[in-house]
Amino acid sequence: MAAVQTMDSSGPMSSSGVDPGRSADSPAERIGELEDQVFNLRRAIDTQRLIGTLIGILATRWSVSTDDAWAALLQVSHRTNIKVREIARVCVADLNGQLRPEDAVLLERLTPELTAAEAERQRHSPPPAEPDSGSDLQAETDEQERKGYPDEPTTS
């Protein structure tokens, strides 16, 4: 498979983030570059997982879509000038009972912002639909009984 190339400010880069035209001065340097890259990729995966976890939590608690939860999270980040990954790290740590003492101040700062974001989402979202009383299901069941459909398929 051919390597995908992207551009950065210094010129073409491979999908791995390493300049394909530049060779490492030594195998040890190349190994060091690759170790750095692996470290950064693992950190990115962990960060994405935390952000996704927080988005799911907010969407569930606020009864909004994940897109709305993401938009609210971005709003909080912009208003507080705190990176989304930091917000996610602190909120998820708190929910897991693993909040570090030095993050308590940050959580105190985020809590009213998240509450305000929730209130903002509620103001702009349509009212929730009434729960289905099950009448459609009952009507379907009644129709099946009138037609003589068995409840469960029989095997011959």
Instruction: Place 122 in a pLDDT band, splitting at 50, 70 and 90.
Output: confident
Per-residue model confidence (pLDDT) at position 20: 55
What's the rounded Cα separation, in Å, for the pair 114 and 140? 43
pLDDT tens-digit readout, 4-60: 444 444 444 555 555 555 555 889 999 999 999 999 999 999 999 999 999 999 999
To the nearest whole number, what is the mean pLDDT of the chain?
79
Q: What angle do CA 38, 41, 42 make, to 5 degrees?
A: 85
What's the rounded Cα separation, in Å, for the pair 101 and 21? 47
Better-predicted residue by pLDDT, 149 or 63:
63
What ranges make up the beta strands (E) of the chain?
Answer: 5-8, 11-14
Residue 144 DSSP SS3: helix
Per-residue model confidence (pLDDT) at position 118: 87
Largest CA distance in the chain: 82
CA distances in angstroms from 37 to 27, 33, 43, 85, 97, listed in the order given: 15, 6, 10, 19, 31
pLDDT tens-digit readout, 133-149: 555 666 666 666 666 65
What's the rounded Cα separation, in Å, for the pair 107 and 119? 18
- Both tokens of 14, joined, read 């491979």
> What's the average model confidence in pLDDT over 90-99?
94
Is 153 a residue whose pLDDT tops 90?
no
- Give me the residue spans of the domains in the chain: 32-124
Is 87 a residue whose pLDDT tops 60?
yes
pLDDT tens-digit readout, 32-41: 999 999 999 9
